Structure 1
């Protein structure tokens, strides 16, 4: 177990969150994150199926698809910026307010995409505005992950930190399921020409109603206990980003490298495979959409499993197992997919997502606990977003380019293997569990308050000495 941050003055033992408060936080973290990922992955599905001809018209379909996937990557360029900005204010103002702002950014941009005129209507302004809105989506989701994870982990019981932290992680496959089900429904209801003309806009416009639900849930929760402690102690950092870089720079870089393989797997199967399955393997679009949905159901269950196992056997142990499995399964993964047999494709997805879930399950709590609560939002957000942009943001674009160049899936498999090996090597070097983020772990053994000297700084000084 990592170091414990003692209870600070102003926060009494009887302020321990109730079971009802914890359920509210978990619901707000899971549902809110699922809706944000619905918005984010909706763009991915549209990039694979519709955005090429709508916003990047060209006589070469591959060029249009590459351009669409490039705008998908723009969201990942924005994510670290969102992580830095919202991490800064999340450590200074609070976690809850940043979650509300991230929801407004993501929801507003998604609805605007649904109403955006295409290239035929406004010419070059169409792709320019699309890229701008995608950038806003990236800002929103860049700050979302850190806030949702910290709210869950900092409310967690002492022995269930990974499980609580996995609820925002489970929002990702839930978002994939929702976005693809909506696309399946729309493509089934409307004729192809109607879908191409305006039917594709409906899933984006639906986001407006979903955002209202998420905002309602998030407005009903209280600020996290850990941030309350920081605020009561008067130890709010004036410049969290500077503190993270100067005191925890190596930890941020290692945690970023650890986080590379997991998002790459997520975006290869949920975004690139839609294009690969239909364009290369010749499978019907509905078949690929359903395979991605079924795989996301497996993903949802296995993230929960990975979190539960990591609370029992250790976060680092489970993460290491997952990263090792990624490197071993990279080539069999594509060998099964290339059979074009839906059953074997689903098997390939399921095993790879089990490996990914052994990483994603413990990942949230593990990264959160690398940093003291005074800079936890900044540290966790930056580390996670480094991994996301290097591993996930460019994965569909890189995979598409590799296949276009070599006409083989082997280079893509090698690419996944290298990312898995990078995460594996990094987790072996990372010292996990430095700061126990659970509220209950912040209590002194006798339940008394610590003195007014900051527990965060005391723990930090003890660790460094």
Structure 2
């Protein structure tokens, strides 16, 4: 399958009109803050689901069932993301990026705030877990339109020579948000007694999200619509059915984004979700050692993401992403084999976490924002990102950690290495076979729209 161009211009994607340095800086901050809130919520909810929600919202169940139900509510947020990505992506291509991003920020922020205010099972019975699930669904829907929209805003406002750097900022916000969520819950648990923490202390980090929400809303409300969308609207070139258009015209780009995202999120969640339980169950570490490993992994990731994004502005997006996937495939054999079981030094565990999630995932995630944006035509870029990325995100986040847990109880780490190697090589193949808009063949009249053949 190949893609060629035949009718209707895609020039807005490269339009330089309407950009200013001030708007570009504000767009970058607005994109960064939104994904920071998204992953602050993700990390906070994941941690709270493990240590708090079973006793607060599912106290009518056995301890095992309560924990299972609490973690299940966390998974619900991923299941709705492809649906939310389709709906919000389509809206973003029809009514504008700015409006949808204000909506996604509000939905995520308000839902997170309400979790912090939600009465427990002891107060309102089974209405408590039912409302918790509803709020988690709203968080998932809001998050489904956040990364794609934030990346589009950052890239469509960015100067050509800085698209990789500025397009990486949503990824950096995701990594820092994860650190903030984990640390905020840990801080509250260390400041108050266990009884106070389970009663009201865990709620404080959720309520704190209103600060990030307020700042993000202030930034986004004062930000103009992106130059690319304004040009598209001026030319009356807005698609009425962007989802159908992207499926019909750019199936290759959709499949590319989905498989690349499965690779990126699969590797990332292997380190920041599965390796936490692996450190506890197979390596015999306590909570502090595991938590330090998770923080080191995410901080290293946050620092290196913009560096790899900037590097892609110099050497190209594809070579950097290809390096990230190949590095991850090789490191799966080198790094994981060093974790031999009980007796492994914590420092070695932390180094593996930093080099695996920090270097490998950062090299993929850094340039990926600009790269996947450049795969799609502007008329349906938000829809393409919403459908392709969120489907890949749900599959990578759900499948890889579950398979890894099953493989971890074998006597060897070889099968864990095989798993990450396969996921990495899938992402590598998708990247190598992908083509950005600039590689499309345009006919001489300059009117172009991609058509799959």
TM-score, length-scaled by structure 1: 0.86
Q: Deviation string for 1:1-44 (max 9, x for gaps)?
A: x9994369xx8x7x442211111111111122212221122111
Which secondary structure does the structure 2 equivalent of 1:160 belong to? Answer: helix
In the TM superposition, residue 242 of structure 1 has moved relative to its aligned partner by 0.8
Which of 22, 26, 41 is residue 39 of structure 1 equivalent to?
Answer: 41
Structure 1 residue 101 displacement after superposition? 0.3
Deviations 1:236-270 (A, max 9, x none): 10111110111112320222011112112333333
Shift of 1:428: 2.1
> How do residues 101-140 of structure 1 correspond to structure 2 at under 5 angstroms?
101-140=103-142
* Post-superposition offset of 1:135: 1.2
Query: 2:382, 2:142 → 1: CA distance?
Result: 14
In the alignment, which residue of structure 2 is the partner of 1:460? Answer: 449
Give the alignment partner of residue 362 of structure 2, picking from 354, 357, 362: 357
Q: 1:383 aligns with which of 385, 388, 397?
A: 388
* SS of corresponding position for 2:378: coil
Q: Is contact 2:250-2:452 (8 Å) kept?
A: no
1:152 aligned onto 2:154 = yes
Distance in 2, Cα, partners of 1:39 & 1:65: 19
Q: Offset at 1:344?
A: 1.0
Q: How does 1:262-281 map to 2 (within 5 A)?
A: 262-281=264-283
Which segment drifts farther, 326-335 or 84-93?
A: 326-335
Question: 345, 368, 372: which one pairs with 1:367?
Answer: 372
1:330 equivalent among 329, 332, 336: 332
Tell me the distance in 2 between the aligned counterparts of 1:195 and 1:153: 42
Quickly say closer, same or farther: Cα 1:294–1:233, change in 2 above 3 A: same
Match of 2:250, SS?
A: helix
The CA deviation string for residues 143-163 of structure 1, in whole angstroms up to 9 with x for no partner, is 001110001111111122111
Q: Structure 1 residues 406 and 362, CA, compared in 2 at 3 Å: closer, same or farther?
A: same
Distance 2:413 2:198 in 1: 29
Q: Counterparts of 1:191 and 1:399 in 2: how far apart (Å)?
A: 35
d(CA) in 2 for partners of 1:363, 1:54? 39
Equivalent residues in 2 for 1:25-174 (5 A)?
A: 25-56=27-58, 59=62, 61=64, 64-174=66-176
Separation of aligned partners in 2, 1:335 and 1:192 = 37
The 2-side partners of 1:400 and 1:47 are apart by: 18
CA contact (8 A) 1:177 1:293 kept: yes
For the 8 Å contact 2:12–2:232, the answer to whether it is kept is: no
SS at match of 1:260: helix
CA distance in 2, matches of 1:49, 1:340: 26
Task: Say if 2:280 and 2:287, in contact at 8 Å, map to a contact too.
Answer: yes
SS in 2 for 1:238: coil
Instruction: State the Cα RMSD in Å.
Output: 2.7
Alignment partners' CA distance in 1, 2:236 and 2:66: 53
Which residue pairs with 2:178 in the alignment?
A: 176
Task: Tell me the residue number matched to 1:415.
Answer: 419
Instruction: Tell me the distance in 2 between the aligned counterparts of 1:267 and 1:129.
Output: 27
Which shifted more, 216-225 or 48-57? 48-57
1:66–1:400 contact (8 Å) kept in structure 2: no
Residue 218 (structure 1) aligned to one of 217, 220, 241: 220
Gap runs ≥5 in structure 2: none
The CA deviation string for residues 327-367 of structure 1, in whole angstroms up to 9 with x for no partner, is 22224443445454221112111111211111101111111
Greater Cα shift, 409-418 or 254-263: 409-418
Of residues 138-147 and 47-56 in structure 1, the stretch that sits farther from structure 2 once superposed is 47-56
In the TM superposition, 1:237-316 aligns within 5 A as: 237-316=239-318
TM-score using structure 2 length: 0.88
Q: Alignment partner of 2:34: what SS? A: helix
- Does the 8 A contact of 1:5 with 1:435 survive in 2? no
SS at match of 2:160: coil
CA contact (8 A) 2:156 2:227 kept: yes
Conserved 8 A contact 1:69-1:397: no
Q: What is the CA-CA distance between 1:233 and the residue it aligns to?
A: 0.4
| Superposition deviation, residue 139 in structure 1 | 0.5
Q: Trace 1:186-201 onto structure 2 (pairs within 5 A).
A: 186-201=188-203
How far did 1:94 drift?
0.3
Q: Is the 8 A contact 1:83 1:385 kept in 2?
A: yes
CA–CA distance in 1 between the matches of 2:139 and 2:307?
30
* Residues 391 and 419 in structure 1, CA contact (< 8 A), matched pair in contact too: no
Count of residues in correspondence between the two structures? 438
1:244/1:400 Cα in 2 relative to 1: closer, same or farther (>3 Å)? same
1:439 maps to none
Q: In terms of mean alpha carbon deviation, does 91-100 or 27-36 score higher?
A: 27-36
